[in-house]
Amino acid sequence: MLSYKKSTKLLEVIKDYPGITEYLAKKSPKFKLFKNTMIVQLMAPKMTLNKIAKKHNMTFEKLMSMIDEGVQSGKIGNGEEFKKNVAYANNVKEQVKTLMKALFDEGKDVKEVKEKFKEIVSKANPIIIAIAESELTKEGYSIQDLMKACDVHLELFKDQLMNSRKKISEDHPLWRFIKDHDAMMLWFEQGLSTARDMKSRNGYDDAKDLTEKLSATMKKLKSSENHDIRQENTLFPVLEKYGVEEPPAIMWDEHSKMKEKRGKIEKMISEIPSMPYDEFVNYLQGAFTYLVETFVKHTQKEQEILYNVALDVLSKEDWKNIKKESDKLGYFELPMEVLKNG
Ligand SMILES: [Fe+2]
């Protein structure tokens, strides 16, 4: 009999039996999430066997006997695909690490590093980037520092976001979620560009038209909160039901952080002119830069990871329910620019 405990992490089992998740996915449709080896890689370090059993409506003992049966019969493969992904993520991680060392420790030319970094990010799968990023954080490296030093983040991630998105038909609930993202992106960028324009004005009186423009943008962004609410109440719980817990939790947390930042901007606008104009404009620029950057990466994670996993594991019935619940919660108004492009 195997000696795993309830608290044993999935990753430890995979280390002993690399093909275990693929085996379970074949064994029972309950484990169809395990077909997605990338998501397994993302979740395996944290997920315990007990949690897996619970999520799949079985006792820990039953799960153990399924694993044991696989071991005894010799039918657990060697997890080729999983191993390939791990090697791939490690490779990306090592490449990024080498770049960081070159830039921060050896004082290499930023330009050269930047080109290489761009190449890595544009070629690699975003899930792999996310995995490499979290591995690097564990080792005390921050990919954020590298992005800042190279000043590449925004455009690069945005291009990738637009190029790699899935074609979804208009009647699918994901279509609306993606359109929502486009609208929000547009408004965050509008906010940033208004904040930049304000820099060339001489004070609150001189910038009245711009602060009004900003208020209008903030109102639209506030209306878009409805997107987060819709996701948090329809898509996330269903994903959690299938055992996909960590990614929605991360998204949820990012929603809260962005909401908080937006709230601060709203408050400052409502209190004009409670602080010196320059200070106000500087704050706005910083806040909108943060929002645009966070939002691009957030959206990328949702579209590349969350939605793909959802398409893999959710049933027709689930999607029907998501649509029904979404209709109940309602939608914010999409701008013409967004509706126009397909
Ligand atoms: Fe989101």
Return the CATH number at 178: 1.20.120.520
Portion of the chain with pLDDT greater than 90, in percent: 43
Domain boundary among 18, 39, 73: 73
Residue 183 CA to ligand 1 center (angstroms) comes to: 13
State residue 189's pLDDT score.
92
> How many whole angstroms from 326 Cα to the centroid of ligand 1?
15
Whether the per-residue pLDDT at 20 is higher than 90: the answer is yes
Is 67 found in the same domain as 89?
A: no
| Range in 17-21, 101-105, 145-149, 170-174 the model is least confident about | 145-149
Establish if 64 belongs to a structural domain: yes
Domain match, 100 and 234 both: no
pTM, whole model, 2 decimals? Answer: 0.70
246 and 133 within one domain:
no
CA of 147 to the centre of ligand 1 (A): 22
Task: Examine residue 53 and state whether it is found in any structural domain, yes or no.
Answer: yes
pLDDT reported for residue 210: 96
From ligand 1's centre to the CA of 181, what distance in Å? 8
* Residue 301 Cα to ligand 1 middle (Å): 9
| Same domain, yes or no: 144 and 179 | no
Indicate whether 185 and 297 sit together in one domain. yes
Domain extent, residue 114, equals: 80-151
Give the chain's domain count.
Answer: 3
- DSSP states of 217-280: HHHHHHHTHHHHHHIIIIIHHHHHHTT--HHHHHHHHHHHHHHHHHHHHHHHHHTTTSS-HHHH
Q: Distance from the CA of 227 to the center of ligand 1, in angstroms?
A: 8
22 in the same domain as 47? yes
Residue 162 within any structural domain of the chain: no
The mean per-residue pLDDT over the stretch 8-23 comes to: 92
Same domain for 241 and 280?
yes
Indicate if 141 and 181 belong to the same structural domain.
Answer: no
Which residues, including other chains, have CB under 8 Å from residue 302's CB and lie 6 or more apart?
177, 181, 231, 251
pLDDT of 134 reads 73
pLDDT digits (tens, 9 = 90+) for 147-169: 666 665 555 566 666 665 667 88
For residue 168, tell me if it sits in a domain.
no
Reply yes or no on whether the pLDDT at 69 is more than 90. yes
Which residues hold their Cβ within 5 A of ligand 1, which is an ion?
Answer: 302
